A and B are shown apart, each in its own frame.
Chain A
Amino acid sequence: ETGVTQSPTHLIKTRGQQVTLRCSSQSGHNTVSWYQQALGQGPQFIFQYYREEENGRGNFPPRFSGLQFPNYSSELNVNALELDDSALYLCASSDNRQGNTEAFFGQGTRLTVV
């Protein structure tokens, strides 16, 4: 158990729909990163939030957006879903204040777009 929880665990959506995924970070962690992991691939960085601001972004289109709340929990929103968005979405929390090295991952949300 890492203390990072994601919801929902599984989700099926139709192409063109919108989805919101949620992540509660580990207590005391101020940074949340989101990753997309397609089947048989390593996780790909989507973006990171630190103190409610986007702190860096990977090579994902603007229809991938996010939020971080004052309690450091976070949401990932994906608009106009495409079939290729089907993947495991991972949230990782860390504490940048200590120059901390380790990121703790949640169990992920398995998104299927049909």
Chain B
Amino acid sequence: GQNIDQPTEMTATEGAIVQINCTYQTSGFNGLFWYQQHAGEAPTFLSYNVLDGLEEKGRFSSFLSRSKGYSYLLLKELQMKDSASYLCAVKGDYKLSFGAGTTVTVRA
């Protein structure tokens, strides 16, 4: 089975840093994805980790530890437009299994 956990909500101030944690227990692992989803819109790809370590992409970074079943998404220099839901997803043999999403609210 698949079990992917992430916090429900987080709030941060514009310009600050927020870290969204994701823990997973899955029957197969072919990589971990982070998606951003604004209300009523489709998820958009942010990052992909398949090996342990940190992947940096502009203001967003993602970290993976396969032995711990743990990942985090780091959002730096927060902007108002970063207010959205952030989905952690694990790729098994052929499908993505998603967490419920973390709603990030950025306040001025």
Contacts and interface: CB of A to CB of B under 8 A. Distances in A.
B99 A42 contact: yes
B31 A101 contact: yes
A66 interface: no
Interface string A46-58: 0010000001101
Interface size grouping (class) on chain B: 20 to 34
Given A33-B95, A48-B95, A105 B43 contact: yes
- Chain A contact-residue range equals 20 to 34
Nearest to A31: B94
Contacts of B4: 42
- Find the residue from A33, A35, A43, A101 having the highest chain B CB count within 10 A: A43
A43 B94 contact: no
A56 B97 CA distance: 13
Nearest to A56: B94
A40 B8 CA distance: 9
Interface string B41-85: 111110010100000000000000000000000000000000000
B93 A56 contact: yes
A106 to B, nearest CB: 6
B12 interface: no
Nearest to B87: A42
Given A101-B31, A101-B50, A56 B95 contact: yes
B40 to A, nearest CB: 8
Interface string A74-113: 0000000000000010101000000001111111101000
12 contacts: A42-B4, A43-B96, A43-B98, A44-B98, A56-B94, A90-B43, A92-B96, A101-B30, A101-B31, A101-B33, A102-B48, A107-B42
Interface of A: 2, 33, 35, 40-45, 48, 55-56, 58, 88, 90, 92, 101-108, 110
